Structure 1
Amino acid sequence: MNDKKVSRLRRSRKARLKMNELQVTRLCVFRSSQHIYAQVISADGGKVLVSASTLDSQLRGEATGNIEAAKKVGQLVAERAKAAGVAKVAFDRSGFKYHGRVKALADAAREGGLEF
């Protein structure tokens, strides 16, 4: 693995350990160059409760690697989480900077009704 990925994974480890210690449901985000993915993971870390990504059939066919797409994914994951009965989550940015697409997804999820 390259140094950039190793550094990102090292940054994510500390936050995930803290979330695991607190036993909170987390909103986990992963971004690639072309897509962005979001999952709401149970407090024990063993089950994905809801997920959304730019690969979903509802978002397919549009631009996928930009801020607008990230906002749509944030709204979709918030909507699905509310339907599943999840209102409060911890935001797990997976070591990515809170900037650009990651920030857009988080802001849209907050507007959609998730608390974090």
Structure 2
Amino acid sequence: MKIAITAHGTDCQATVDTRFGRADYFVIYDQEKAAWETIANTQNLEAAHGAGIQAGQSLARTGAGVLITGHVGPKAFKVVNAANITIYSLGTESGTVQAALEAFLAGKLSPITAPKP
């Protein structure tokens, strides 16, 4: 399974980004390969509108099954849900991507079951 985490940087030591649509990067951990990859979200950083929808579409193309982030708006939530990606909340945490992954694997993160307006 691929686990995507919103981040301010490009590796597992980057600080997590609690924004979804306007996150700088998606750092993705592939459990089967035990490998990391990074997807830039630059096209959405300055988008006037639709950043969450576009970010959701980009994320769906990666094959991720899990998203770890802080906030997902209603339209982005619909896109991510339609791609069968389960969303987990970082809450207000601002640690590293690695720490977020470890918290998820330990069952310490709560699923996001509804979007935040």
TM-score normalized by structure 2? 0.42
Question: If you compute each CA radius of gyration, which structure gives the higher value, 1 or 2?
Answer: 1
Greater strand share, 1 or 2?
2
TM-score normalized by structure 1? 0.42
Greater helix share, 1 or 2?
1
